[in-house]
Structure 1
Amino acid sequence: MRGIWLATVSRLDWPPLASVNPANSATRISQQQEALKAKLDKLKELGINTVFFQIKPDGTALWPSKILPWSDVLTGKIGEDPGYDPLQFMLDEAHKRGIKVHAWLNPYRVSTNTKPSTVAELNNTLSNQPPSVFVLHRDWIRTSGDRYVLDPGIPEVRDWVTSIVAEVVTRYPIDGVQFDDYFYTESPGFTLNDNQTFKKYGAEFNSKADWRRHNTQLLIEQVSRTVKQLKPNVEFGVSPAGVWRNRSFDPNGSDTRGAAAYDESFADTRRWVQQGLLDYIAPQLYWPFARDAARYDVLAKWWVDVVKPTNTRLYIGVALYKIGEPSKKEPDWTIKGGVPELKKQLDLNESLPQISGTILFREDYLNQPQTREAVSYLKDRWGS
């Protein structure tokens, strides 16, 4: 599996900003569709066979959903019909080129900021069909850092997220569903205030951290079960932060000193693999071999040991976005255009039979001057 993430949040990879406010909607549609086709042509040329397409960047959708309003990344306005179905278009065009599509959803993010203008826009969806969850279920919404998120401890929230996955799986010939690493998102000084929720639902837990991990576990179980009931051939996977736990905290952890999914996102990713809840796991191993705190090879081999006794496939997320970027702590990304580091990572992935593929983060970095040498190397290595 040679994959790439294609992000739509804040229009990172697509659609092009210039397409959002054109003279008329026909121009916008053709600009967005042509841009996507050009990207898929390039991916095919590079030998990429799977695209992880972000169809739910926040509390909005890139398909005509009965649950979520249309995404503002398409038209500049939440809830405005873009005049075509981007998910269906992506599926048609990718499948035509022999490329698989996994629908990538951010489960809990409602907005990327908390600006008054964003609040006004979310409130304006009240008259829409469907309105934003922000106005429909104000009691589910929390602030985390500089964004609005859903509170994962509320059972109805998990049901709601699952219903969105069910809608997509039922209606579209997608090849897979993927959640990224945003379960509980917090940063120091910006904690998610779920004290009331914990009081209400967490009585039998010794710590809030254990209760939070339990909530994430319930979401994964529910979504996994739902996908398998609806379409057993659709794959369900997660792309968590690369470190599950550090060995200094847990003897089962990796020999690393990185931010750990278990402790920071409240996601017991190793357990999901052990329990067979995922068809694949794609840890984000965004460090070079020489990064002592989180060595690429140490983590890749740690994950290999986790999946070995299971049927879960392992794909490795690789940091295309760091290639060619000067970094004091990780100088290897700039040596000879980053090609030697990339080669080492791909060589390792291909040498370990338990690693079933590589996913690059993210698509627009294929078009940046600093990755030119690396892209040309990928084309030689993967391209037809």
Structure 2
Amino acid sequence: MTRKVKTSGAFIIAAILLASCSSKPPVSLVTPVTKPAHPASPSQNQEPVRGVWLATVSRLDWPPVASVNPNNASTRVSQQQQALKNKLDNLKSLGINTVFFQIKPDGTALWQSKILPWSDVMTGKIGEDPGYDPLQFMLDEAHKRGIKVHAWLNPYRVSTNTKPSTVAELNNTLSDQPPSVFVLHRDWIRISGDRYVLDPGIPEVRDWITSVVAEVVSRYDVDGVQFDDYFYTESPGSRINDNPTFQKYGQGFDSKADWRRHNTQQLIEQVSRTIKQLKPGVEFGVSPAGVWRNRSFDPAGSDTRGAAAYDESFADTRKWVQQGLLDYIAPQLYWPFARDAARYDVLAKWWADVVKPTNTRLYIGVALYKVGEPSRKEPDWTVNGGVPELKKQLDLNESLPQISGTILFRENNLNQPQTREAVSYLKNRWGS
């Protein structure tokens, strides 16, 4: 597999950005909605996705915390690479065919980037060369085993906290090549949800994120690109201060909420078009919060009472499907059948109806992390090791022709004592 293209990466990115900004996008950019209302069945397109998210933020799934030893680089590299190979061997034995690998957990990279500094998750220090390219290593090892890799990026997060030590570390990248966006474009940085984030309302920020995606797609043999649900990610006590941005760019919008949704829409359109111009075969997907809107707010919404992507993250995820901007959507349906406020079956069927008249594939995100965990509101996760609940969810996914796969959140939960029975069940159901 070729890692780099012959053409200059900077030239490609500049050309793509010009194309992205020069004209109003067509109604449909990926899968025309004017086609007959027959969803593409997995058997025609591909086998059903049996996927897992592999998180690197805070080293949740990988690399092993114990491997981050700056005193012995060669031991660190071999430990990290061996741990990843062991994980992939295990995933293959379970019948997993797709890994959603987090390559941009914040404002840093798990690939050799000319735009972002190296992530500290490998070495403990932002900007320090880990001695190998984790994304390329993952691609080589996964593809060897017949497993596809989707590059999972968090678009706007710059850091996971705002501690003085984090600020100092980000500032220390000023002399690095490349330095952090935190020091290069301080005017783009806001605080939201007690993290440093990029302001989604600034057009140059969306261009910058698009250039990051373009770099990955043009240089690496990834099977897909996925954004998670972190678009506008506020918390009640830590709202993003985008009033100055709204005053500058928000003319003509009835409300700040409409303007924010427009900003998220612009990013998705730009990234979608860029990927298709660079490599049409690379899939683009989003994994949003499971509820688009509640029916109490919108008659088109689901019969639920949960936090809604449209109103909380300012992401009109249903519209992206209808416009054909995505190859797939993977809503996080992290509730059991018995959770009245957001029933699994109600939401799965709602999403199946949304994708039905389109060619956007639907993969369902399932809450493996809840299996075996005692919960007063969701006791079903502990009944018989969570197997009956998991079975009901997988059965429903396989019974609806519009659902093209399941993704488990997240990889390290496959290795926990409380999920042992569920993992054994998965292996019997999916494994070879």
Quick one: which of 150, 174, 197 aligns to 2:198?
Answer: 150
**What is the alpha-carbon distance in structure 1 between the residues aligned to residue 112 and residue 171 of structure 2?**
20
Q: Tell which has more relative contact order, 1 or 2 (C-alpha 8 A, sep 6+).
A: 2
Report what 2:97 is aligned to: 49
SS in structure 1 of the partner of residue 319 of structure 2? helix
In the alignment, does 2:406 pair up with 1:374?
no
Displaced runs of 4+ in structure 1, greater than 6 A?
Answer: none
Sequence identity (%): 89
Report what 1:14 is aligned to: 62
**Paired positions, count:** 384
Report what 1:124 is aligned to: 172
**What is the alpha-carbon distance in structure 2 between the residues aligned to residue 86 and residue 73 of structure 1?**
11
**What is the alpha-carbon distance in structure 2 between the residues aligned to residue 165 and residue 190 of structure 1?**
28
**What is the alpha-carbon distance in structure 1 between the residues aligned to residue 135 and residue 68 of structure 2?**
17
Give the drift of 1:237. Answer: 0.1
| CA-to-aligned-CA distance 1:35-87 (integer Å, 9 cap, x gap) | 00000000000000000000000000000100000000010000000000000
Report what 1:218 is aligned to: 266
**What is the alpha-carbon distance in structure 2 between the residues aligned to residue 22 and residue 97 of structure 1?**
31
Query: Normalized against structure 1, the TM-score is what?
Result: 1.00
Q: Is the 8 A contact 2:117 2:127 kept in 1?
A: yes
Give the drift of 1:355. Answer: 0.2
In the alignment, does 2:356 pair up with 1:308?
yes
In the alignment, does 2:316 pair up with 1:254?
no
Report what 1:84 is aligned to: 132
SS in structure 2 of the partner of residue 253 of structure 1? coil
Report what 2:290 is aligned to: 242
| CA-to-aligned-CA distance 1:325-373 (integer Å, 9 cap, x gap) | 0000000000000000000000000000100000000000000000000
In the alignment, does 2:212 pair up with 1:167?
no
Report what 1:324 is aligned to: 372
Quick one: which of 219, 234, 251 aligns to 1:186?
Answer: 234
SS in structure 1 of the partner of residue 179 of structure 2? coil
With 22-31 and 103-112 compared, the bigger mean Cα shift is at: 22-31
In the alignment, does 2:396 pair up with 1:348?
yes
In the alignment, does 2:80 pair up with 1:32?
yes
Quick one: which of 79, 83, 108 aligns to 1:60?
Answer: 108
Give the drift of 1:145. Answer: 2.1
SS in structure 1 of the partner of residue 422 of structure 2? helix
**What is the alpha-carbon distance in structure 2 between the residues aligned to residue 108 and residue 33 of structure 1?**
28
**What is the alpha-carbon distance in structure 1 between the residues aligned to residue 237 and residue 123 of structure 2?**
34
Give the drift of 1:11. Answer: 0.3
| CA-to-aligned-CA distance 1:264-314 (integer Å, 9 cap, x gap) | 000000000000000000000000000000000000000000000000000
Report what 2:50 is aligned to: 2
SS in structure 1 of the partner of residue 191 of structure 2? strand
Report what 1:336 is aligned to: 384
**C-alpha RMSD over aligned residues:** 0.5
Partner amino acid, structure 1, of 2:272: S
**What is the alpha-carbon distance in structure 1 between the residues aligned to residue 429 and residue 169 of structure 2?**
46
Partner amino acid, structure 2, of 1:343: K
SS in structure 1 of the partner of residue 299 of structure 2? coil
**What is the alpha-carbon distance in structure 2 between the residues aligned to residue 343 and residue 188 of structure 1?**
36
Q: Is the 8 A contact 2:70 2:123 kept in 1?
A: no
Query: Normalized against structure 2, the TM-score is what?
Result: 0.89
Quick one: which of 346, 355, 374 aligns to 1:298?
Answer: 346
Runs of 5+ consecutive residues of structure 1 not aligned to the other structure:
none
SS in structure 1 of the partner of residue 212 of structure 2? helix
SS in structure 2 of the partner of residue 80 of structure 1? coil
Give the drift of 1:22. Answer: 5.3
| CA-to-aligned-CA distance 1:192-238 (integer Å, 9 cap, x gap) | 10000000000110100000000000000000000000000000000
Partner amino acid, structure 2, of 1:50: T
Runs of 5+ consecutive residues of structure 2 not aligned to the other structure:
1-48
Quick one: which of 224, 232, 239 aligns to 2:280?
Answer: 232
SS in structure 1 of the partner of residue 100 of structure 2? strand
Report what 1:71 is aligned to: 119
Give the drift of 1:23. Answer: 3.7
**What is the alpha-carbon distance in structure 1 between the residues aligned to residue 110 and residue 73 of structure 2?**
16
Report what 1:383 is aligned to: 431
Report what 2:336 is aligned to: 288
Give the drift of 1:146. Answer: 1.5
Partner amino acid, structure 1, of 2:104: K
Partner amino acid, structure 2, of 1:314: L
**What is the alpha-carbon distance in structure 2 between the residues aligned to residue 192 and residue 332 of structure 1?**
37
Q: Is the 8 A contact 2:70 2:124 kept in 1?
A: no
**What is the alpha-carbon distance in structure 2 between the residues aligned to residue 25 and residue 177 of structure 1?**
30
